[in-house]
Amino acid sequence: MKKIELDIVALSHSVTQSHNYAVVLGEQDGSRRLPIVIGGFEAQAIAVAMEKMTPNRPLTHDLFKNTLETFNVELKEVIINNLLDGIFYARLICINDGDIIEIDSRTSDALAMAVRFNCPIFTYEFILDAAGVILEEPDNPSTAIEPTKATKTKRSGKKEKTNKLSSYSDDELDTLLSEVLADEDYEKAAKIRDEINKRSSS
């Protein structure tokens, strides 16, 4: 069965489920998008890795990555391999001493691991046929936790919604970033990092 490679193109609040988030995967060689609803903790785990933040102590997915690497297990790819009753299923395809090992995983955990290992994400045509949509860029980018660089580029022509962080000095932002990282509030840390990066590039 032919595999279709996907990229994470957005991570935002879920429109249909207020306490959850949605990770949007985009077809590399096409216009289809695959939105998947995930929990807040899983969204945070993905956002932390995408922002390349270093927590004070390893998060669960960091621990699993360190464990795999300690035992010379390489995560080769992630495959979203099934969709049953609205639930996505995924597998981690690993290599150890030349042997291929497949590990069953929740899709949200698999994506968090894929970002950490910088490995490709795949799915199959029947899943995109069943759940794929063609999505345009959201009108309100402020709902996104941490879009990818590609998404940021598309939005560069739009005026970003102002927030309270703009009133902080550079030193105050650095101090605040250290405080929220110490509190393991990675969602807020991502927003602070965005404000710092915006200033440094202007």
Tokens 């063609």 map to which residue? Answer: 134
Statement: 3-156 belongs to CATH 1.10.3210.10? no
Domain segments of the chain as ranges: 3-156, 162-202
Cα radius of gyration rounded to whole Å, the chain: 18
% of residues, the chain, pLDDT over 70: 77
Q: How confident is the model at residue 29 (pLDDT cuts 50, 70, 90)?
A: confident
Burial class (CB in 10 A: 0-12, 13-18, 19+), 155: middle
* Rounded CA separation 114/107 (Å): 10
* Rounded CA separation 22/13 (Å): 6
Report whether 18 contacts 89 (CB < 8 A). no
- Return the H-helix or E-strand segment holding 39: none
* Rounded CA separation 87/37 (Å): 9
- pLDDT over 70 at 155, yes or no: no
Q: How confident is the model at residue 135 (pLDDT cuts 50, 70, 90)?
A: low
The mean pLDDT of 146-161, rounded to a whole number, is 36
Task: Report pLDDT digits (tens) over 90-130.
Answer: 999 999 999 999 999 999 999 999 999 999 999 999 999 99
Burial class (CB in 10 A: 0-12, 13-18, 19+), 48: buried
User: Whole-model pTM above 0.75?
Assistant: no
- pLDDT over 90 at 77, yes or no: yes
Tell me the backbone φ, ψ of residue 116, rounded to 5 degrees: -70, -35
pLDDT at position 16 is 55
